[in-house]
Amino acid sequence: MVFIRRDVGKLSGDWDPTLLWYARAVGVLRQRPITDRTSWRFLAGIHGFSEFWWKRDGYLKADERLPKESERLLYWDQCQHSNWFFLPWHRGYLASFEQIVRDEVVRLGGPQDWALPYWNYNEGSQSLNLPPAFAAKVLPDNEGPNPLYVENRFGISGNGEVVLNADLIKLDCLDEPRYEGGKHGTPPGFGGTPKSLYRGGVTGRLESCPHNVVHTEVGGSKQVRIADDGSRYEVRGLMSYPETAALDPIFWLHHANIDRLWQVWLDSPDEHSNPDKSHWYNGPDKLSRPFIVPQVNGEPWKFKVVEVLDTLAPRLNYRYDNTAPVKSQGNRLHQRLQRLGLAAGQLQNFSVSGALMVKEPETEVIGANQAPLDIVGHSVQTSVQLDKQGAQQVFNSLKSNVLAASLTPPDRVFLNLENIRGNNDAVLLEVYVNLPADADPTQHPELRAGVLSLFGVSSASRADQEHGGHGITEVFEITDIIDALHLGGITSADQLNVRLVSRAAVPAEDQITVARVSLTRLGG
């Protein structure tokens, strides 16, 4: 039997049987002890675990016995982020969860073909709302408390109402031609950069947005509560932090959609493909921790990437009801080439990615700011000083007469926010290039490089974690912004101004810093 994952927004009503059975099964899994590999909390711990926060949020009793240390070292805190294993690891993890939930659904008398739905939040204004079944505190017909509801889901507004912002979760990532990111994240790639044993890689475009952004928009920021004794303490939105995200039942529908978007990208008519490299599809290699998840009977399944590349593989056996290509407007540079009268076939060979170039394009840092940047308040700005020769090469490559005559791919330009550190994951920043000093950022979408969620920054900033304290690094392509400046009459530049804007003020105690802001050229 092939199991069909369906769009939650197109199910029959707020409490379609798919969701009602999901809620009932989640309720059973929550009753199982944390030492049970098929329990709700054990499965969540595979993604991430924090004893302090789990106790603070009421998911772990003070005297409760945890799984053995050897068990935790093998199974827990596995989540793959900021590297090219992000998508295949989460696919295996999601399949394990779905199969365990389906087994319980059947035990409870539910349908044998039950499959996890997905939250397609890019399907219009209604899809931006949290599915109603997750906001209800009780099950229908007074069946009891709703296991899909969690208190620590604050939303970006902080009032508990989860409504995503369509402008922050656009699917520009689907235009990225290559899965694998380049050296130092230039470009970041659709699926991320090759994993390093020494530091975290650069976040891939799908992971950066919408994945990270949705996590932050759902979980929201920290909240202050008052204890019975009058003392004040902080609680955090579960979805905003990797250590608690999988405790929220909406996590699994979010990741089902991210997994679906991988398939959408692969099914694109632009002939996208996964890496053809043995150390990826046979990964993780022998020097790395194995990918391991529990099966329905609690026994381990160790898997490699190659085993989860086909959703119809025996261990997975599912498909999505819709993986149709998403219509892309293309970036401004691509539209410019069309205006030059290039045919569709020429445009494909003229790929802005340079992926079809005969020789590998060179990477060059052509500018950087002078000091680390502290993120405090609603807006901060820094100037990136440009190397004159490197910047001139970029402008020269963008000249329309050169493009039309030779069909030489123009240089690609990337803005790098390097080694971002801090102690608050629930921060969203919009990144603008050359935004006028007195301008309203919302009126200048053409100058926005991208949206940055700091999901995972806390653990990445600690020296005892996998990232070794290096923080996270995000890379945004700004080729079309540079091209727009060029078309506006700028033929050379000594610097670019980069502004980071937060719709909610970032307090100084969050200690958010960017070690360096730099500009990279990728070209011939």
Instruction: Say what the pLDDT of residue 227 is.
Output: 80
Confidence of residue 490 (pLDDT cuts 50, 70, 90): confident
Count the neighbouring beta carbons within 10 Å of the beta carbon of residue 389: 9
Is residue 98 a part of any domain in this protein?
A: yes
String of DSSP letters for 294-354: E-TTS-EEEE-GGGGSSTTSTTT-EEES--PPPP----HHHHHHHHTT--HHHHHHT-TT-
Residues 183, 305 share a domain: yes
Is residue 325 a part of any domain in this protein?
A: no
Is residue 178 a part of any domain in this protein?
A: yes
Specify burial of residue 504 (Cβ count, 10 A radius: 0-12, 13-18, 19+). Answer: middle
Domain boundary pick from 320, 350, 371: 320
* 498 CA to centre of own chain: 23
**CA 211/CA 255 separation, integer angstroms:** 8
Task: Give the model confidence (pLDDT) of 211-249 as tens digits.
Answer: 999 999 999 988 888 888 888 888 899 999 999 999 999
Task: Give the model confidence (pLDDT) of 99-111 as tens digits.
Answer: 999 999 999 999 9
Instruction: Say what the pLDDT of residue 523 is.
Output: 81
- Domains of the chain: total: 2
String of DSSP letters for 20-54: HHHHHHHHHHHHS-TTSTTSHHHHHHHH---HHHH
Domain boundary pick from 271, 289, 320: 320
Residues 410, 371 share a domain: yes
**CA 112/CA 103 separation, integer angstroms:** 8
Specify burial of residue 171 (Cβ count, 10 A radius: 0-12, 13-18, 19+). Answer: middle
Is residue 327 a part of any domain in this protein?
A: no
Residues 386, 301 share a domain: no
CA dist list (Å): 167 to 122, 265, 298, 444: 10, 20, 42, 12
Which residues, 6 or more positions from 147, have their beta carbon under 8 angstroms from its beta carbon? 23, 24, 26, 27, 30, 249
pLDDT of 467 over the 60 cut? no
- Which residue range forms the structural domain that includes residue 376? 332-523
Residues 351, 418 share a domain: yes
Residues 456, 345 share a domain: yes
Specify burial of residue 232 (Cβ count, 10 A radius: 0-12, 13-18, 19+). Answer: exposed
Domain boundary pick from 264, 295, 320: 320
Instruction: Say what the pLDDT of residue 196 is.
Output: 53
Task: Give the model confidence (pLDDT) of 272-297 as tens digits.
Answer: 999 999 999 999 987 778 999 999 99
- Tokens representing 392 are 């001139």
Give which of 162, 152, 138 is closest to 20, Cα–Cα. 138
pLDDT mean over 462-469: 72
Q: Using a pLDDT cut of 90, give the percent of the chain over it.
A: 74
The number of helix segments (H) and strand segments (E) in the chain equals 15, 15
pLDDT of 332 over the 70 cut? no
Confidence of residue 90 (pLDDT cuts 50, 70, 90): very high
3-class state of residue 221 by DSSP: coil
Instruction: Say what the pLDDT of residue 335 is.
Output: 59
Is residue 445 a part of any domain in this protein?
A: yes
Confidence of residue 340 (pLDDT cuts 50, 70, 90): low
- The enclosing domain of 83 has a CATH number of 1.10.1280.10
**CA 390/CA 493 separation, integer angstroms:** 10
C-beta of residue 96 within 8 angstroms of C-beta of residue 308: no
Residues 53, 152 share a domain: yes
Residues 208, 228 share a domain: yes
Cis check: omega of the bond before 284, within 30 degrees of 0: yes
Residues 418, 298 share a domain: no
Alpha-carbon torsion angle 243, 247, 250, 254, nearest 10 = 30
Instruction: Say what the pLDDT of residue 158 is.
Output: 87
Alpha-carbon torsion angle 251, 76, 425, 368, nearest 10 = -120
pLDDT of 406 over the 70 cut? no
- The enclosing domain of 411 has a CATH number of 2.60.120.230
Q: Using a pLDDT cut of 70, give the percent of the chain over it.
A: 89
Residues 433, 298 share a domain: no
Instruction: Say what the pLDDT of residue 356 is.
Output: 41
CA dist list (Å): 260 to 4, 81, 106, 255, 326: 12, 18, 25, 8, 12
Is residue 56 a part of any domain in this protein?
A: yes
What distance separates the 2 farthest-apart alpha carbons in the chain? 76
Is the pLDDT higher at 350 or at 53?
53
Task: Give the model confidence (pLDDT) of 351-381 as tens digits.
Answer: 444 444 445 677 899 999 999 999 999 999 9
Residues 467, 349 share a domain: yes
Residues 418, 306 share a domain: no
Q: Is 144 left (phi over 0), alpha (psi -120 to 50) or beta?
A: left
Is residue 465 a part of any domain in this protein?
A: yes
Residues 212, 131 share a domain: yes
Is the pLDDT higher at 488 or at 341?
488
Instruction: Say what the pLDDT of residue 209 is.
Output: 97
pLDDT of 114 over the 60 cut? yes
Q: What is the mean pLDDT of the chain?
A: 89
Is residue 477 a part of any domain in this protein?
A: yes
